[in-house]
Structure 1
Amino acid sequence: MTTRPFHHGNLRAVLLEEAESVIRQDGVDGLSLRDLARRAGVSHGAPRSHFADRQALLDALAERGFVRLTTRIERALAHDEPARAQFDRIARTYVDFAVDDAALMELMFATKGSAAAPAVGQAAARLFAVLDASLGPADPADPTRARGRFTLLFAATMQGIAALVASGRVPRATGDTLVTDAMESMLTSELGGRAVTRR
């Protein structure tokens, strides 16, 4: 009887790719290190050379998701266009990611993930720092913490729209309309007026 080789070229990346495929199809509950080893064609103990346990794998997936979303937001910000158009682009980028990678997005914002791994919290903080920077120069005299509230409201609203689309409650075209409506409401609100210093 032959045994599967313990080593695999760039095994960590292979395992993460396979894990993403599993959670897209079966959700987080369908994920196990033993099954991933089988899918990657390595011995069942091989994944533990990269992930101490299943939670470590979930944390790595969440961190990777935040990095990917942040990169996409940064690309959206690289377009030279008026602020309003750029905010619409950022919002659509966020919603597209959350719809296309719904299971990963849910994992990224799972409380146990962010609490268990500092790297996940750091990756999430970088995402929100990029979103904050998109608002323009901060007003250090603002006692209402408008920027932080606006950024959290943005994330909550876009994830809510994405959830409606991903679940089939509304078609994607309707989701696009909701994004436009949401950004119009947020940017013209009193909160938006205090939070957004870029025009």
Structure 2
Amino acid sequence: MPPSPYHHGHLRQALVDAAEVAVRDGGPSALSLRDLARRVGVSHNAAYRHFAHRDDLVTEVALQAMAHLLDTMERRLARIRTEDPVLRARQRLAEVGRGYVEYALAEPGLFSLAFSSSSALAQAGDSADRDPYALLGRVLDELVDVGFLAPGARVGAEIVCWSGVHGFSELCVSGALGATTADDRDVALDRVLVAIDRSFAATSGAVVGPEDLRF
């Protein structure tokens, strides 16, 4: 879908929106300020007044991609209706993981761009309400609060979860799982999430019953 026409006074956002379309269509390498200026219908000098370097635009688009990723996670969390606090916390962690993979599959180019920009990651980290990593941290804190994850095991738990779902996402987007059917992929992802769930239960001696992390 082509970007929205440029309207006077909104060139910066028009360039970001056009860049998002370009990355969606052609991956991160498709992002070029000169090409984007042409798409939007302005001179490249006008574009450079808003983004002096390509990296500045990459940062802005990556931040927008992370905001979309966070929205995907939060939409999945909003569906949880379980009242049991322990099961609810466990389901919330699983849905954060599923939301991460869902976004990666829906927007592979933007997903790749989002985590290629150290500047965007740093800026997102400065604002907890726009940082997917901070959301993961809050959900892990909930697991500690309900007694499912031992406090001593909480340290570094973000890396355990992030590595699992990010690696799985990469395998699906550009690796060995790329040709897997959606049903088989869901089964494989469930195994990853259940393994993380069981490992966290072991830290506190929690008894994990037959509850399904799907709801």
Smaller-chain TM-score bracket: 0.7 to 0.9
Query: Which TM-score applies when normalising by structure 1?
Result: 0.78
| Structure 2: distance between partners of 1:105 and 1:147 | 27
User: Mean alpha-carbon deviation: is it higher for 52-61 or for 41-50?
Assistant: 41-50
| Structure 2: distance between partners of 1:64 and 1:77 | 20
% identical equivalent positions: 32
- For the 8 Å contact 2:93–2:136, the answer to whether it is kept is no
- What is the CA-CA distance between 1:74 and the residue it aligns to? 2.6
Superposed CA deviations along residues 40-74 of structure 1, whole A, max 9, x for unmatched, are 11121122232121000001111112222123223
Q: Which consecutive residues of structure 1, in runs of 5 or more, have no partner in the other structure?
A: 1-5
Q: Which residue in the other structure is 2:136 paired with?
A: 131
Q: Which residue in the other structure is 1:3 paired with?
A: none
Q: Structure 2 residue aligned with 1:90, among 91, 96, 117? A: 96
Q: Which residue in the other structure is 1:147 paired with?
A: 154
After superposition, residues 62-141 of structure 1 pair within 5 angstroms as: 62-78=62-78, 79-81=80-82, 82-83=87-88, 84-110=90-116, 113-115=117-119, 118-122=122-126, 126-135=131-140, 136=142, 138=144
User: Mean alpha-carbon deviation: is it higher for 72-81 or for 47-56?
Assistant: 72-81
| Structure 2: distance between partners of 1:97 and 1:160 | 14
- For the 8 Å contact 2:59–2:119, the answer to whether it is kept is no
- For the 8 Å contact 2:26–2:109, the answer to whether it is kept is no
| Structure 1: distance between partners of 2:190 and 2:121 | 35
- What is the CA-CA distance between 1:117 and the residue it aligns to? 7.4
Rate the CA distance shift 1:104–1:24 in 2: closer, same or farther, 3 A: same
Query: How many residues are matched?
Result: 186
- For the 8 Å contact 1:88–1:179, the answer to whether it is kept is no
State the Cα RMSD in Å: 2.9
Q: Which residue in the other structure is 1:186 paired with?
A: 196
Rate the CA distance shift 1:181–1:36 in 2: closer, same or farther, 3 A: same
